[in-house]
Amino acid sequence: MFKRPIVLLALFASLMASALAQQAQTDLQRVKLSAGMYQIDAQVAQTPEQRQIGLMFRKEMPQTEGMIFVFEQPATQCFWMRNTLLPLTAAFVADDGRIVNLADMKPQTDESHCSEEPVRFVLEMNQGWFARKNIKKGAKLGGELFANRR
């Protein structure tokens, strides 16, 4: 007697969870970063779930905004773009704020882009932002995240 409503309820819950998983996360904590004279308003992805979702499903992002991924320990970090609609550039960043390497990433691909050395931070910006600002490998980012790690 109750089997059909329970099945329907379970199906509804599953569909809602799937829909929620496909929403862009825009309510993360933010931090101010600098790259030379340029300011960045970065969302902070620091939990495993926040890092996994990242910028997936976002249809737009203001030019002065980005997302910084914070990991517990330095390691070779690799990123890909499944379910990410925006073309992005990833800056792999050492503890002292030094950009180890940059990688342009195409939307909705599984191609892996990795840091050239162990890092704890990865900053994603709209593709071309670093190039337009002439910010290259070796440049230093500033901000509270890097202040205690120099």
Give the up-direction half-sphere exposure of residue 40: CA atoms within 13 A in the CB hemisphere: 25
Instruction: Report residue 6's pLDDT band, with 50, 70 and 90 as the boundaries.
Output: low
Cα dihedral 35/28/92/48 (nearest 10): 160
pLDDT band of residue 47 (cuts 50, 70, 90) is very high
Provide the mean pLDDT of the chain.
88
pLDDT tens-digit series, residues 124-147:
999 999 999 999 999 999 999 997
The pLDDT value given to residue 20 = 45
Banded pLDDT at 149 (limits 50, 70, 90): low
Instruction: Identify the CA nearest to 36 among candidates 127, 147, 141, 136.
Output: 141
Residue spans of alpha helices (H) in the chain: 3-21, 48-53, 129-132, 144-147
- 21 or 102: whose pLDDT is higher? 102
Cα(34)–Cα(119) distance, integer angstroms? 18
Counting residues of the chain whose pLDDT is more than 90, the rounded percentage is 79
pLDDT score of 24: 80
Q: What is the DSSP letter of 8?
A: H
List beta partners, residue 43: 30, 67
pLDDT of residue 144: 93
As a whole number, mean pLDDT of residues 31-48 equals 97
